[in-house]
Chain A
Amino acid sequence: MKNQLKVLRAMRSWSQADLGEHLDVSRQAVNAIETGKYDPSLPLAFKISRLFALPIEEIFDDEFEGAHND
C-alpha cells in the first residue's frame, strides 16, 4: 500500500531508526512499510496516525479508492 510515511518522516528530519523508536518497531519494519512491502496492522496504523496527528487515509493511500477519485 502506498503511503506518505517517508515524506512525513522527512518533514521532522527523522531517520527510519528514529521513527522506529517512536513506534516501538524495528527499522526494518519502518522500511518495509515505507516501500510498500508490508502493510501495517490496524493498531500500528492508528499509532502512526496519532504520531503524525493525521487521519489514516491521509497517510495511507488506498489505490482502489484513488483510482475512483481520479
Chain B
Amino acid sequence: MTNLKERTMTDADDMANNNGRRRMWMMFSGIGIIMISGAISGYLSQRDAQGDGPLTTLDVSILDLFAAVILLLAFLIWKLFQQTKQSGERRPRRERLNNRIIWGCGIFGGIIGLALALTDNIGTANEPSLFASGPISPVLAVILAGAIGVVLPAITFYWHKHVVDEQEEAAYRAGALIAIYAFWFVAPVWWLLWRGGILPSPNGVALYFMTAFIALIVWSWKKYR
C-alpha cells in the first residue's frame, strides 16, 4: 500500500498541475499588460491635457519602464504558452471546451477594447482612456452594447449550463461574493469621501473594473491554485 501511495501522483498529473498554474499566470500577465497599457495611455493623456509640451527625460524613462514591463509580461506569456504546448497534456472534454470559450471571450473582449481605444479621443480627455466617458458614434455604441448585452450573456449561459463543473462554479461563487462585498464597501466610501471634498466624484467604470478584476483574480486562484 505504501508503494501505491507513493505512485499516486503520476508524471501526467504533475505536468497537468504545472499547466494549470501556467494558465493562471498567463491570465494574470495578460491582465497586467492591459493595465500597464491603460497606465501609459492615461499618462500621455494627462500630459497632453496639461499642455506639458515635449517629453522630458523623466517622461521617457517612465514610459520605457512601462514598455519594458509589458515586453517582460509578453515574453512570460509566450514562454508559458510554449511550455504548456510542449507538455502534450491530455485534458477532459469539458476542460477543452472551457479553455476554448475562455480564449474566445478573451479575444472578443480584446476586440471590443481595441474598437473603443481606436475610436476614443485619446489625448484630449482629462482621464485615462480606460475610464473615458466621451461620446462615440451611435452605430458603434449599438454594436458594442449588443455584443456585451446579448452575445456575451448567451455565451455565459451556455458556459454555466454545459461547460463549467461544480468546482469551478464554487470558485465563481467565491469570486462573486468577494467582488460584491468590495463593491458594497468601496462605492459608498468613495461617495462619502467625494462628498467630503477629499476624492473626485465616484467613477462607475472604475468601480465596474475593480469588481470584475477582483472576481477574476479570486476565481482563477480558487480554480487553478
A4-45: CB near B (< 8 Å → 1, else 0) gives 001101110001110011001111110111000110110010
Interface size range of chain B in the complex: 20 to 34
| A31 surroundings in chain B (CB, below 8 A) | 13, 16-17, 20
Which interface residue of B1, B5, B95, B98 has the most chain A CB atoms within 10 A?
A: B95
Asked whether B92 lies within 8 Å of A9 as measured between CB atoms, the reply is no
| Distance, CA A8 to CA B224, complexed state (A) | 23
| Distance, CA A25 to CA B165, complexed state (A) | 6
| A40 surroundings in chain B (CB, below 8 A) | 166
Residues of A contacting B: mostly: helix
- Given A24-B94, A25-B167, A29-B167, A16 and B12 contact (CB-CB distance below 8 Å): yes
Interfacial residues of chain B within 15-68, with CB under 8 A of chain A in the complex: 16-17, 20
| Distance, CA A44 to CA B94, complexed state (A) | 15
Asked whether B223 lies within 8 Å of A28 as measured between CB atoms, the reply is yes
With beta carbons under 8 angstroms apart, the residue of B5, B90, B170, B224 that contacts A17 is B90
Cβ distance B93 to chain A, nearest Cβ, rounded Å:
7
B181-216: CB near A (< 8 Å → 1, else 0) gives 000000000000000000000000000000000000
- Given A25-B92, A26-B98, A27-B16, A15 and B10 contact (CB-CB distance below 8 Å): yes
Cβ distance B165 to chain A, nearest Cβ, rounded Å:
4
Closest to A22 in B: B92
Closest to B13 in A: A16
Asked whether A21 lies within 8 Å of B167 as measured between CB atoms, the reply is no
| Distance, CA A10 to CA B125, complexed state (A) | 61
Closest to B168 in A: A26
- Assess whether B118 is interfacial by the CB under 8 Å rule: no
| Distance, CA A13 to CA B120, complexed state (A) | 56
| Distance, CA A25 to CA B5, complexed state (A) | 23
Which interface residue of A24, A31, A41, A44 has the most chain B CB atoms within 10 A?
A: A31
With beta carbons under 8 angstroms apart, the residue of B1, B10, B92 that contacts A24 is B92
Cβ distance B130 to chain A, nearest Cβ, rounded Å:
31
| Distance, CA A15 to CA B14, complexed state (A) | 10
| B170 surroundings in chain A (CB, below 8 A) | 38
| A6 surroundings in chain B (CB, below 8 A) | 5, 8-9
- Assess whether B7 is interfacial by the CB under 8 Å rule: yes
Binding site for B on A (CB under 8 A): 6-7, 9-11, 15-17, 20-21, 24-29, 31-33, 37-38, 40-41, 44
- Other 16 A-B pairs with CB < 8 A, given A15-B16, A37-B225: A6-B5, A6-B8, A10-B4, A16-B13, A16-B16, A17-B12, A17-B92, A20-B92, A21-B93, A24-B94, A24-B165, A25-B165, A26-B167, A28-B168, A31-B13, A38-B170
